[in-house]
Structure 1
Amino acid sequence: MIEKIKKILKTLIKYTILFIIVLNIVSYFKALDLNKEKLDIKTFTLLDGSNYIVKDDKPLLLNVWATWCPICALEEQNIEELSKDYEVITIATQSGSNEEIEKYLKDKNLSFKVVNDEDGLLSQKFNVKAFPTTFIYDKEQNLKFSEVGYSSTLGLKLRLWWSSF
């Protein structure tokens, strides 16, 4: 019986590793088409109507997501945690009105800064075709990292740390 359990666990681990490798390969190829240019947006209008001015002394994490995206829902707590210590702007794409997004955020207990991309124009500017997509810019707004799909808190923290040099 123990041998059978060991064999099942070994197979499970093998397929989990294979699955993670395949996901990373897919993410890599999806990221090839993203806008790689320097961030040329200096201000974002947030849900509450206030303007967020991009700081020129810190890295910036820009996360493009949607309320209807299941992978985004898995990642949103990672983004929430990062928003407490880092510069984070999120763009909610084709996710409804400001009020609908605010209700979503309240229901999920999320407080990160959100731009409503109701018509999808910002997503197009960054050439985003899959969600979530994350961009990390250094303090000079040069793109350092881009990721399509789920990203862990640790992975994003390490990229932000690396972008601060």
Structure 2
Amino acid sequence: MAFRRRSVLGWGVAIVLFFAVQVFLNRDMASGPAPAIEGRFLDGSPASLDSLRGRPALVYFWASWCPICGTMEHKIESLARDHAVVTVAYQSGDAAEVARHVAERHLDWRVVPDPDGINGERYGIRGVPAFFILGPDGTIRSRSMGFTPEWLLRLRLWLAAG
């Protein structure tokens, strides 16, 4: 019985620590109306979040040099089939380098290169991956940094719709 209480207590402490770390990491991340994304998509069209209005959307900051981002690729690809997704390649090189990475990895995303991290600064990210769930009105409804399961991103997108 004592072992069981220690186990439950240990899990409780771990969960509280997890959420405390999330609050700490997310403290400087943008909130309220989503900041504009500067630059151009890889296809040359101007980057804009205006096309996302009217539905929930995901703004995803990632980097070609980030191993956790690599584990998220298929999850983001799956989400992009069902939801509006804009990705920002944070400090991953110029458009040609990002396009090469996207082609090598067979990614079918709308990508805005952010070689100098300007968009990352506007969103207040401290690392990647970073996720911003936007409501239909363009306000940030949820934000997180680090590995995030696909089911949790889908839940947040579903909640942002309401």
Q: State the TM-score, normalized to the length of structure 1.
A: 0.82
Counterpart among 51, 70, 75 of residue 67 in structure 2: 70
Secondary structure of the residue aligned to 1:145 is strand
User: What RMSD over aligned residues (CA atoms) do the two structures have, in Å?
Assistant: 2.4
Structure 2 residue corresponding to 1:51, chosen from 41, 46, 51 = 46
Q: Give per-residue Cα distances to partners, 1:72-103, cap 9 Å, x unaligned.
A: 11112111110111000011011012121111
Amino acid of the structure 2 residue aligned with 1:157? R
Tell me whether 1:35 sits opposite 2:45 in the alignment.
Answer: no
2:100 alignment counterpart: 103
CA distance in 2: counterparts of 1:16 and 1:100, whole angstroms:
43
1:134 pairs with one of 131, 134, 144: 131
Alignment counterpart, residue 93 of structure 1, candidates 90, 93, 112: 90
| Runs (5+) with no aligned partner, structure 2 | 1-6
Q: Cα gap change, 1:158/1:99 in structure 2, threshold over 3 Å: closer, same or farther?
A: same
Alpha-carbon distance, 1:27 to partner: 2.5
Of 61, 77, 93 in structure 1, the residue corresponding to residue 58 of structure 2 is 61
Residues 78 and 21 of structure 1, relative CA distance in 2, 3 Å threshold: farther
* Deviating 4+ runs (over 4 angstroms): 15-24
Report the Cα distance in structure 2 between the residues aligned to 1:108 and 1:63, rounded to whole angstroms: 17
Distance 2:131 2:94 in 1: 22
* Deviation at residue 37 of structure 1 after TM alignment: 2.5
1:9-24 maps to which residues of 2 (within 5 A)? 22-24=17-19
Aligned mates of 2:138, 2:70 — CA distance in 1: 27
Identify unmatched segments of 5+ residues in structure 1.
1-10
Q: Following the alignment from structure 1 to structure 2, what is the Cα–Cα distance between the partners of residues 104 and 80?
A: 15
Structure-1 separation of matches of 2:62 and 2:34: 18
Aligned to 2:156: 159
Contact 2:91 2:115 in 1 (8 A): yes
Query: Residues of 1 paired with 2:114 and 2:108: CA distance?
Result: 17
